Each structure stands twice: as structure tokens, then as C-alpha cells.
Structure 1
Amino acid sequence: MLNKSRYPLFIVFVILVAITLFACESNEQTNEPIEKQKIEINNVKMNDEPLGSVEITGALYATPTGVFNPIFIQDAYEESILSFTHEQLVTQNESLEFIPQLAKKWEVNEDYTELTVYLEEGIKWHDGEKFTAHDVLFTYQVIADPDYIEAGGLRTAFVQPLLGYNEYVQGNVEEFTGIQVINDYTIKFVYKEPTVNPLFYISAPIIPEHIFKDIPVADIPNAPESTQPDKVIGTGPFIFTHLEEGDRYVLKRFDNYWQGQPFIDTVVWQVVAPPVLPGLMESGEIDFIADPIGIQPPEVNKFSNLTKITLIEQSDFNYQLLGYKHNHLTPDDIDAGIINPNNWVANDKLSTEIREAISYAIDRNKLIDEVYDGHGTVLHAPIPIQSWAYNEELSTNYNYNPEKAKSILDELGYIDTEDDDKFREDANGNEWVLNFNYPTGNEIREKTAEHIQVMLNEIGINVNMRKSDTFAQYIKDLSNNSNDWDLYLMEWDIPTIDPDPSYIWQTESPYNFSRWHSPESEELLNKALSTPDAFDEGYRQKVYKEWQQIFSTDLPALILFSPNTIWAYNERIQGVNPLPTTMFHDVHLWQVKD
């Protein structure tokens, strides 16, 4: 059983989802040097040297909260700014594989309990100090510190599997044995048990020991070194130099950047109201809009006809779903704050056949067209379409087929026999109404709910629409599993690196809001992470294929679609080479052509 009181669902559930399991990699990998001469990106020949005082401006929709420390940030706008100033040991490529960044190679021992990382040499912090393995050790000690969470830190997922974490975070020992400095440029990560995803745990952004070592961990987020731009120190290609509160955030190129001097001199982040952004991009006052929000689908037409503006559109790493309540918690379990599937009460209103009928009745392409102006991708499984584990050959894809939906209900005896009101009664001739809950405050989600109601009405299902005034209240009620809930809407951010869906769909997960209980699913989810077989990606791919077939058959939810991410930039910026996860890739190679 799982005690729900340990999980503040409606505060951090999206953050927890975003930092769950990541993928394994090869035992050794090296970082090929980047050749600065005669570079070509997207068939555009680049200059050999920086061009001098060249400035570009990016848009932010809201003012950052003001903590510019990458292991303490809670604001996506701050994260965008710091993606130009700070780095990790490893990053991702266009195939979502781990590749070196501050690390140049690594080795994993035979039982996957130790990861030895060899660092690039000659890297300098923005203040000229050398980057070494001691900075890595210090960063992980801060994240594991007993005061880290209390100070607002959220990134303990990077340290929890490491040896000695529990003893260190409880203050029982002074040495964190899970990470060991071998020499200035070699560091070892030691895990409590074999892990199929060791490289995730070395992907935390690194902060400088010499800047923060004398500051108590509890004071780091509010220290000048985390809040004043001229004191924020990283290893990235740009230095955070100054800000005008609530308006402009200015970065200057780092001339001693280890991968070569950036071509662009200045990057300015400007806080911009969304309605005026198209005009500012047309006039050249804003050069790019990307992370964290980009361009919302209803606004795309305002940008698509702008001259000299390039749009980048690709499937995002989140999805919308229509959830089916398989079971409900008991009042006693709700009061006790526990999740015990042995006590669950089946929802007799949603049999497997009824879930299938509903799924065939939903026109997901129409939802994308009507709600997202066509800027979305239909998904058939709760795994990113970009992932190696996504299975396009599911046993059932539930493509729109309202006649089949009606036929299924007819065969079950769900027909309109009593009052000719065009709504079906159940097989016993009783009134049949499905309760459909959704939160307010998100126009797109509200429109989705309204369209689904119409689609279900069209096949004779009477739907009782019920709104929650706030998203927090919605999550609380959804988690408590009120016994009259049948259908619900949810959006999930999903990991960009590892496809493991356990955090949502394991039986006792607090996020398994459908209260789906499938022994076959449990067995496969565990197999996909069980060593040593799970070290083989091909093995995991096969297991997840089987799991997706069970998901599509048992239908804890209908995965509706993934909205597209849409970014834009002025064509005077050359060398933009986006990844599936970000447009801010190799920004030191960006150039301006005026």
C-alpha cells in the first residue's frame, strides 16, 4: 500500500513526472572535438570568427521569479535563461540519446552499480576558475543535503538512488559515499543497486564549489550568487551580466568558452505581452520565441505569414487523455490516505465494451482541428511518439468509428427504449448517465470537454458535465476518487528520455487516477526495469510493445493527442539546429546575418 500523504499531488506532480526515469547508454562514449572552421549547419556555411557586437532578443511571456541557480529554480523562464549559462555532464541529441557535455566519456561496471565519468579538461567558469570533479561532487552534496528540500530544492531524483543518500540526507554521516572524486577530472557515481538508467543521475546542472562552499545550503537560493546577474557563474557560452527587473535580462558572450568563442555578442531576454509579439517579430525587435511556452496553436496564423520568420513545429512531450474510472477507493481508505487495490470498488458503469464504444466515438483528429487548429498529433499509447518504445502496431487504435460504437452499445442492450429522448438506457432499462469531470481555467481543455460531450451525445450517451473551479481542487477530488466519477480529462508531461510509464500506470501509483489494476501490466512494467535483461534496449522495446497492447485492450484511458510545440525565429539568425526537446541547442554556433 502507498501512503498518499507523502505525495503533494496538486503542488509538484508535473515536476515529479518531468524528472522520472531516463534511458541507459553505452558503457563508454567519447566526445569528438567540435571543429570551428568552415562549419555548416542546415546547409548554411558559417563564419569562422565572431562578428563583433551582434545582439539578438528572445521573448519571455512572464517575469522570472528571480532565483538564477539551476539546482534551485522552480520557474521555466529562469530555466530558459540558464540554458545559455550553465551545463550538465551529459545532454541529449536529436535521437534523445545521452551524449557528453562537460563529461567526455564514461564507463559502467559489469553489474551497473558504478559509473566512472571522465571530465573535459581546460573548462573555465565564467570568473576564470577551473572546472573540476570537485564542482560535481559539491553540486551533488548540495542536492543531497538535509536542508536542500526545505530551501526549495526539487531535484532529489538525481541523488536518491546513490549509495549512502539516506544516511547523508538524514545527517547521520558527513561523507556522501554515492559520489567519489578519483582525481580532478575523474569522478565515480555509486548506486545502491543495479540501475538501467545510470546516465540520468549524472545529468544535473553543475554549480561552482568555489562560489557556494561557504554559504549554508539553506541560504543558497537567496544569496546574491543566485539572485544577482553579475554574480551568477556557470560554464556555458554566455554570461548573465545584468537585468532590468521585470523587463530585460541580458547575457554577454563568454570569450573563454571551452567549445569556442560564441559568434553572437549579446542575448537579451525581453518580457513581452503575447498579443504584441507578432508585431515585434515583424519589426525585428524580437528575434525568437521558444521555450518554455512558444507559440500557442490559436496564434500560429499571426506568425505564419510574417516575412523572414521561420516556424519550427514538432510533437511535444505531453499528451491529453480521456480517463476511464475502472475502480473507486473506499471512504475508509480515503480517510486513511492509502491506496490498497484489494479494497477497490469496481465501477460497473464502465465495462470494457463500454470503454471501447466511447473510444470509437471520439474523433481525435477533429479535436486537434477544432481545439488546436490542426497543430497536434494523435497518439495511440501513453509513450512519446518520438520514443524508441512507441508502438504504432497496437492491437486496437480506436480510429474514429461512430457506427461501430453504436453497434457495441446496441449489442450490450444499451438502447433508447423508455422515453425516446435519444439517450440510451442501460441493459435493464434504467437511466444511464456518465459523469464527466474536468477543470476550468484552461480554455483548450474546456473546449476539449465540450467537443467530447457532443461526440458522446451523438451515439446516445447522456453525459453529466461537472466542472471544478480550480485545478488544485480537481486534482484533490480526482485523487480521492469520488465514487460517482466516470470520465475525466488530464494532461501529462512525460519524460523526454526514458519511456517508462510506471509513474502513472502502476497500480499503486498515486497518479493512476483511473485506479487501473492489471496483473499483466504490473508484470510487464517490472520486467522492463529488471536487471540484467533491462540493460538491453531491444528487450525493453519488446516488453513495452506488449504492455501497450494490454493498455489498448484494457483501456484505463483513451490517449487523445499530443499538442505540437511551435517555436519561431528571425531568419537573420543562422545556425539554429533544434532538438526534439529544445531550440536552444549549440547556441554558441548561432550567428547573425544582417
Structure 2
Amino acid sequence: MLNKKFWYLLVVLTLFAFLLVACNSDEGGDDPDDEDEQEQQDDNNEDENNEEEEEEEGPVSGGELVGAMDTAPDGIFNPIFYSEAYEANILDFTHESLAGQNDNLEFIPQLAEDWEANDDQTELTMYLREGVTWHDGEEFNAEDVIYTYTAIASPGYTEAGGIRTTFVQPLVGYEEFSSGEADTFEGVEMVDEYTVKFHFAEPNVNPVYYASYPIIPEHVFGDIPIEEQPSHPATLDAGEVIGTGPFKFTEMVEREEYVLTRHDDYWQGTPYLESIKWDIVDQSVITSLLESGDIDFVADPNGVPAADYEMVDGYENVEMIEQTDFGYQLMGFKMNYRTAEDAEAGTINPDNWVENPDVADQKVRQAIAYAINRQGMVEGLLRGRGSVINAPIAQQFWAYTDEVPQYEYSTEEAEALLDEAGYVDVNDDGFRENPDGEEWVLDLEYPTGNKIREDSAPVIKDDLEKVGIKVELRNPREMSAYSNDIIFNDSEEALDGLDLYLIGWSLGSGDPDPTGLWNIEAQYNISRWNNPESDELINKALQTPDAFDQEFRTQTYQEWQELFATDLPAVILYAQNKIYAYNERLNGVDPLPMGFINDPHLWWVEDAQ
């Protein structure tokens, strides 16, 4: 009993002492335990303040980014004349269109803040933004839009190397104006300073697409004859190229580096980054430069090589994005050549084309398709990061179908077709002769820059020689010289009898219409494929009112893709997954399905000075 009372009293006294200390603490007593508690409270307050600061942290202004390209731009920095993806890496920062696109490939306002079409979609009215300035401080307005489309439609444009006539051909008066029969182009009309109306010759299924080409400044180019524009400083020289985009093209050391500086008066707000620099480096060292931080990002057109994916994915300072390519790599058949006179004049006249007998037989082209182990390329060269496709429409489009001839790898099928076409080995040297018993050698050419494409060439040679087709690989050339010849200087003499070529296409995202690449008179129809049924189907898919029904267009494009895969002006080799990589210091990256560069004015770096 005594012990119980003792312990009860002890507990009470202890509790009283605790309450006394607590009261003294509330009153600011100087008990040593009070100092520890105060330090703890201060630490808690500091942690809370740090958390609030972290929550408040956001984009900061300043800093430079360094991107890497494995091939130098050809040097044409004018949207209506450029021809390759490396130049687009500059122009995507400097120039803009009336309408852009979102993740779902829907058109969204850009330099035009709104638009409306009439009931039958023969007219499209675009309402332009006010307050947009060009890089030189001049104001953007309707005159710039009128000028851009008039320039593309003008006589002499294609002769000067222009290849964007797809965007003006559907407009009223194009034929008359481009041929010189009319003095004015009726297809675009200036309603007022900030309103433009596009007039289409026929009801148009996708008018915004045709009204969404990048705009160039009238006050810069208006007095320059169209034939002089490709060689003018406003097209070629850093500091002279003028756009409305978030960055200005300000400096370059040709074939080494290209510098973009922010446009402080950009209409969507001053970009966070001070500058973006493109370095031209060999593809073999890009990954090591990413790891060291000497470059900040690698994106289009080639991205990170598939063979380096695992290595780069292990870099602690690098983020990666992988998505399906909005395009494909192909091996084309040079089915026809232009005459030297037509090539020199920039004329595309199928009536004058000279057939290439070495690849003229459809069975031969099909045999070659069977002979190439494309799945082997995907698994070996791409490390599985890609896919074999058989139709030349982007897989992301509703119009794409793979229900076409597949040409799965089969030496037996290839040999049977070659035998049927009369290509047999008559002298027992291991290689087939043509039906006349003459030596049959196919010349294959390809550009430098894309390592996987370079590695594809000898694989193709080996595959074709397994079925008795002798192939000569030409020495690869830099892309600018290569593309100039096969696209613009494609006479038999200039190409020295070229039969096969390798190239990759980054496709337009506005519409699946293949006119720009495969229409008979398209400049980019490098094969010079002359199949009237192809053009009939391409045109049919755009003919309203039927074409207002997407199911109709889908069916028509499926028929066209089957025709393409049967007649085979080119073998679609593979669609390589795009693998983008960027340093974790970079924020605001939000790629679109068709490319890495999207809203670069919102990009920012954490270590900006």
C-alpha cells in the first residue's frame, strides 16, 4: 500500500514538473531543452520556406542551348525555296504559318487568330493577328501573306528551284498566272490589312492545310525577281534572314555552327532562352557529347542512333523520348530521267522523259523488294526500334493501310520473278544478264550523314547479289550535293545512269495527300514515276463533294497505296523510331508527332545566368 502511494506521488510530481517546464517554455524561459526545441522549430520553418520556394520556382530567362546536327544545312534559309530537313532545323525557329497543329494533328491558330470557310469550302477567310512584328521590326500584315502565295505561284518559281506549288495549285487562276497569261494571281485576296481570303477553283476538302504555309516578308522580297531569290542574301546569310518566329538567325560559321538569338518582341512573349546554337558534328560522337554536356539536345532528322539507345538511356543527365517517325526511308528506282534541257530549265515534262531500261520491268522491281531483308534491317541496324512498312503514307494518319503487297523477305520469290522476266545468268559468273543477254549492273547511290542509311547500302548490295543482281555502290556524297543532283539535275548524263537511290522523307503533317512526293509532275517524284492511274486516284481523293466524306478518302487512298505497292516506284525500307535526347537542364520540351521543335519560346534552362 505504501509503495503504491509512493509511486502515485512520484508520478504526480513528475507531471507537475513537466507542466511547469512547458509553461516556462511558453513564456520564453532559458532552459537548455528549450534551445533545442527552438532550433528544431527554426529548422521546420526553414524547410517550409524551402518547399514554398521550390513550389514558386518556374521558368527563368537567359541561357544558351546547343543542339547537334550530323549534316550541315544546304544553306537555303527561305521557306519557299528550302528543300531539306537540316535547313528546316533553322526555319522551324525563325518562320511561322497562319495555322499550326496540335498533338492530334488538328489545325490551331498561329499567325491567323481565326478563320472561316464558306458552305462549299471554295473560300477560306483568314483573320490575321495584329501586333506581330518581323525580326527587323516591321509589322506583319496581309500583304506578306498575299506576297508569299503569289511568289510560289509566279512564273519562274519552279525554274528557280521552287518545289512548293502544291500549296497554290488548287487556287483560282494558278495556271493562268504561273504560265504568264495573267498579270495577277486571283487565288489570294487582301480584304483588308489583317484579313486574307483564299479562293479555291473547286470545293476543297482541307482548305486550312493549303493556307498554312510559312510566310515570308513582302518588304524584304517584294522587289527581288523570283529567279534571284535563291541566291539573295535574304535567303542565304545569317542576319539577313527575316521571319516572325521566336528566334532570329543571327550568326553562322558555314558547315560548322548556326546561331539563333531570341526575338525580344515575339508576339507570344519574349522567349526564355537567350540563344540556341546548332553544332555540326559527326554522328559517331554525338552521344559522347550528350554525356559530357557539350551539347544539350539531338533531334530531327536523325536523332539518337538506335544502336546507342541503351547507352544514352543510362546517362544520368539525359532525358529521352521515343516516338514513331512521321516518315520513312526508301530505296527508289530511277524509272525515268529528264532530258538535260528540261533539267537545266527546271521543266518537268513527262512527255520528254527517257525510260531507264534497267529497272523498267515491274517484275524486276518486285523481285528486288522480295530480295531485301527489310525486317533484318529493323532488327539489326535499328535494334528493333522501327518497323517495316509498305505504303508511303505516315502511319499516324487515318489514311494509312498495310493491306497491300508485303514483299516479305524471300530469295525464292525474287529468283522466280527474275527468271520470269528473262533476267538469267547466261555465262555462269553468278550474276544475271538482261533479257538481251547483256551485262546487267545496277548503280546504287546514297548520301552521307545518316549512319543507319549509310549502313543500309552494303546490306542491300549483299541481299541483291544473293539472287544474282550485280550492284555497284557509288561513293557516298554529302547530302546537299547528292540531293541537288537526284532532285534537280536528274538527266541520264548528269546522273551517269543511276538506277537506285536511298533517301528519307519527313512527311507533311497537314494532310495525307501524297501529291507533293508522288504526283507525276512533283519535283520530289525523284523516281519520275509516270503512272496516270496514280494521279487519277490522288486527284479523286481530293474531289468534292465525295472527298468531304473521310471514309471515301480513306478507301481511295487505300486503293492508291495498293497501286503504289504493286507498281513499286520505290521500296519503303523502314520507318525508324525517332529517338530524341536532351539534357535534363532543359525544360519545356513537348514534341509533336511530327517533330521535336514545338513552342521553343517556352524552353528554359535551370542554370540560366
Same fold (TM over 0.5): yes
Equivalent of 2:267, from 254, 258, 261? 258
Equivalent of 1:84, from 80, 93, 106? 93
Aligned to 2:550: 537
Structure 2 unaligned residues grouped into runs of 5+:
1-53
Give the superposition deviation at 1:139.
Answer: 3.5
Structure 2 contact 273–603 (Cα < 8 Å) conserved: no
| Residue 204 in structure 1 maps to residue 213 in structure 2 | yes
For residues 51-77 of structure 1, give each alpha carbon's deviation from its aligned partner in whole angstroms, at most 9, with x where no partner exists. Answer: 233332323456667765544556755
SS at match of 2:93: coil
Give the superposition deviation at 1:85.
Answer: 3.1
| Residue 566 in structure 1 maps to residue 579 in structure 2 | yes
Structure 1 contact 479–511 (Cα < 8 Å) conserved: no
| Residue 439 in structure 1 maps to residue 452 in structure 2 | no
| Residue 528 in structure 1 maps to residue 534 in structure 2 | no
> Structure 2: how far apart are the matches of 1:345 and 1:287?
46
| Residue 463 in structure 1 maps to residue 470 in structure 2 | yes
Equivalent of 1:267, from 264, 272, 275? 275
Give the superposition deviation at 1:81.
Answer: 2.9
> Structure 1: how far apart are the matches of 2:348 and 2:143?
42
Cα separation, partners in 2 of 1:152 and 1:434, compared to 1, 3 Å: closer
> Structure 1: how far apart are the matches of 2:338 and 2:64?
57
> Structure 2: how far apart are the matches of 1:328 and 1:214?
35
Cα separation, partners in 2 of 1:152 and 1:462, compared to 1, 3 Å: closer
**Structure 2: which amino acid aligns with 1:273?**
V
**Structure 2: which amino acid aligns with 1:289?**
V
Equivalent of 2:110, from 85, 89, 101? 101
Aligned to 2:119: 110
Aligned to 1:547: 560
Q: Residues 288-303 of structure 1 correspond to what in structure 2 (within 5 A)?
A: 288-297=297-306, 303=312
Cα separation, partners in 2 of 1:365 and 1:62, compared to 1, 3 Å: closer
> Structure 1: how far apart are the matches of 2:181 and 2:81?
24
Q: Residues 88-237 of structure 1 correspond to what in structure 2 (within 5 A)?
A: 88-126=97-135, 130-144=139-153, 155-165=164-174, 175-209=184-218, 211-212=219-220, 215-217=223-225, 222=232, 227=237, 229=239, 233-237=242-246
Aligned to 2:26: none
Cα separation, partners in 2 of 1:279 and 1:193, compared to 1, 3 Å: same
**Structure 2: which amino acid aligns with 1:269?**
K
> Structure 2: how far apart are the matches of 1:499 and 1:215?
35
Give the superposition deviation at 1:203.
Answer: 2.0
For residues 375-432 of structure 1, give each alpha carbon's deviation from its aligned partner in whole angstroms, at most 9, with x where no partner exists. Answer: 44211112222222110233x323234466667789999999x998887899x9x979
Q: Residues 392-471 of structure 1 correspond to what in structure 2 (within 5 A)?
A: 392-394=402-404, 396-402=405-411, 435-439=441-445, 442=448, 447-458=455-466, 461-463=468-470, 465=472, 467=474, 471=482
Cα separation, partners in 2 of 1:197 and 1:341, compared to 1, 3 Å: farther
Cα separation, partners in 2 of 1:408 and 1:127, compared to 1, 3 Å: closer
For residues 243-288 of structure 1, give each alpha carbon's deviation from its aligned partner in whole angstroms, at most 9, with x where no partner exists. Answer: 677545141252x5333443x2312214343255434322323211
For residues 525-554 of structure 1, give each alpha carbon's deviation from its aligned partner in whole angstroms, at most 9, with x where no partner exists. Answer: 342232321233221111111232344445
Aligned to 2:6: none
Aligned to 2:49: none
| Residue 378 in structure 1 maps to residue 384 in structure 2 | no
> Structure 2: how far apart are the matches of 1:71 and 1:476?
16
Structure 2 contact 172–187 (Cα < 8 Å) conserved: yes
Cα separation, partners in 2 of 1:419 and 1:480, compared to 1, 3 Å: closer
Cα separation, partners in 2 of 1:571 and 1:198, compared to 1, 3 Å: same
Aligned to 2:10: none
**Structure 2: which amino acid aligns with 1:383?**
I
Give the superposition deviation at 1:580.
Answer: 2.5
Give the superposition deviation at 1:157.
Answer: 4.4
| Residue 389 in structure 1 maps to residue 399 in structure 2 | yes
Bigger CA radius of gyration:
2
SS at match of 1:81: helix
Give the superposition deviation at 1:567.
Answer: 2.7
Q: How many residue pairs get matched?
A: 539
* Amino-acid identity (%): 43
Q: Residues 40-55 of structure 1 correspond to what in structure 2 (within 5 A)?
A: 50-55=59-64
Structure 1 contact 239–252 (Cα < 8 Å) conserved: yes
**Structure 2: which amino acid aligns with 1:533?**
D
> Structure 1: how far apart are the matches of 2:362 and 2:178?
46
SS at match of 1:559: strand
Aligned to 2:17: none
For residues 96-121 of structure 1, give each alpha carbon's deviation from its aligned partner in whole angstroms, at most 9, with x where no partner exists. Answer: 34322111222223343321112234
| Residue 588 in structure 1 maps to residue 595 in structure 2 | no
> Structure 2: how far apart are the matches of 1:438 and 1:247?
31
Cα separation, partners in 2 of 1:532 and 1:479, compared to 1, 3 Å: farther
For residues 344-372 of structure 1, give each alpha carbon's deviation from its aligned partner in whole angstroms, at most 9, with x where no partner exists. Answer: 798899564x7655544432111234444
SS at match of 1:84: helix
**Structure 2: which amino acid aligns with 1:536?**
D
Cα separation, partners in 2 of 1:46 and 1:359, compared to 1, 3 Å: farther
Structure 2 contact 538–560 (Cα < 8 Å) conserved: yes
> Structure 1: how far apart are the matches of 2:234 and 2:517?
39
**Structure 2: which amino acid aligns with 1:590?**
W
Cα separation, partners in 2 of 1:433 and 1:46, compared to 1, 3 Å: farther
Equivalent of 1:281, from 287, 290, 294? 290
> Structure 1: how far apart are the matches of 2:241 and 2:487?
37
**Structure 2: which amino acid aligns with 1:448?**
S
> Structure 2: how far apart are the matches of 1:360 and 1:217?
49
SS at match of 2:399: coil
**Structure 2: which amino acid aligns with 1:436?**
L
Structure 1 contact 439–474 (Cα < 8 Å) conserved: no
Aligned to 1:488: 500
> Structure 1: how far apart are the matches of 2:579 and 2:532?
39
**Structure 1: which amino acid aligns with 2:575?**
S
Structure 2 contact 337–490 (Cα < 8 Å) conserved: no
Structure 1 unaligned residues grouped into runs of 5+:
1-44
SS at match of 2:558: helix
User: What is the CA RMSD across the aligned residues, in angstroms?
Assistant: 5.0
> Structure 2: how far apart are the matches of 1:135 and 1:464?
50
Structure 1 contact 58–287 (Cα < 8 Å) conserved: yes
> Structure 1: how far apart are the matches of 2:83 and 2:368?
38
**Structure 1: which amino acid aligns with 2:207?**
P
**Structure 2: which amino acid aligns with 1:546?**
E
Give the superposition deviation at 1:134.
Answer: 3.3
Give the superposition deviation at 1:179.
Answer: 1.8
Question: In terms of mean alpha carbon deviation, does 398-407 or 130-139 score higher?
Answer: 398-407
**Structure 1: which amino acid aligns with 2:274?**
T
> Structure 2: how far apart are the matches of 1:169 and 1:452?
42
> Structure 1: how far apart are the matches of 2:423 and 2:147?
64
Structure 1 contact 357–408 (Cα < 8 Å) conserved: yes
> Structure 2: how far apart are the matches of 1:329 and 1:243?
36
> Structure 1: how far apart are the matches of 2:222 and 2:572?
50
| Residue 313 in structure 1 maps to residue 325 in structure 2 | no
Structure having the larger proportion of residues in helix: 2
Structure 2 contact 170–201 (Cα < 8 Å) conserved: yes
Cα separation, partners in 2 of 1:250 and 1:50, compared to 1, 3 Å: same
Structure 2 contact 299–579 (Cα < 8 Å) conserved: yes
**Structure 2: which amino acid aligns with 1:99?**
I
> Structure 2: how far apart are the matches of 1:342 and 1:232?
37
